[in-house]
Structure 1
């Protein structure tokens, strides 16, 4: 399974020059906790999360209208491409302490976002299917045939 296959393709964006007030309003209106920042060529360069707003803006007593997204966003040290395996993406997440990674196409342009929740959902589905197989092949099930 690849990152491109399970990532979220509809991604909410914010410009790095917008205020964090605008970012917070966008998160609220779209009911999301993360916004991605792109450069002029649609390459991901950062993200801002609701946690960033809480800790880096409110927690530091900064003015939400005067503070720009660029000044508090998390810059992307990593991303994954659409063909990256889920295992490799998870390794990057663990090594960097990330819960989300941008997924890029072959040109490095944003294609989606892979979240830890996406991976957990996939694993739950897989474990459910494995559980069905185990129950079907259990001695009790086989004895009833």
Structure 2
């Protein structure tokens, strides 16, 4: 299973010069906890950072800064790791764990933004797979009852 199969293609984006207020409004409007910071590139946009709702709280509110005096470029995470569409889910999960990130932008072969994969997405995928595994157990028991009958 590849990251490209499961990433969310509807990605919320911001630019470095956008205001903190705009970021908060966009996150609220789309009910997301992060936005990918991008720069224009030939053929699309290239991810250069990420900003999260936690960044807004820790960097702006807790520091008692004036949100109108700060831009996304001032608080975004520049140490951005990305996944390629063809990367495997398991390997990507391991990279996320090692780097301590819950969200990872997904890029195409040209390095352009293709989507985002979050820990929530991975939990949903894993839960679905585990549900299927549980169904196997039930089917096995059903098959055995049919072929061997009941002992009582």
TM-score class, shorter-chain normalisation, is: over 0.9
SS in 2 for 1:40: strand
Q: Where does residue 87 of structure 2 map in the other structure?
A: 84
1:1-80 correspondence to structure 2 within 5 Å: 1-41=1-41, 42-80=45-83
**Bigger radius of gyration:** 2
User: Considering only aligned residues, what root-mean-square deviation do their CA atoms show, in Å?
Assistant: 1.3
Instruction: Indicate the SS of the match to 2:14.
Output: coil
Q: After superposition, what is the alpha-carbon deviation per residue over 1:53-107, rounded to whole angstroms, capped at 9, x for unaligned? A: 0111001111101111011111243101000000110011001000000000000
CA apart distance, 1:19: 1.2
Contact kept in structure 2, 1:34 and 1:48, CA below 8 Å: yes
Q: Which sections of structure 2, spanning at least 5 residues, go unmatched?
A: 148-152
* TM-score, length of structure 1 as denominator length: 0.94
Residues 76 and 7 from structure 1, CA distance in 2 versus in 1: closer, same or farther, beyond 3 angstroms?
A: farther
Indicate the residue corresponding to 2:120 in structure 1. 117
The answer as to whether partners of 2:20 and 2:56 remain within 8 angstroms in 1 is: yes
Match of 2:101? Answer: 98
Q: TM-score, normalised by structure 2?
A: 0.90
- Please identify runs of 4+ aligned residues in structure 1 that moved more than 6 A: none
Moved more, 75-84 or 56-65: 75-84
Shift of 1:143: 2.0
Contact 1:44–1:76 under 8 Å retained in 2: no
Q: Deviations over 1:111-136 (max 9, x none)?
A: 00011111111111111111111111
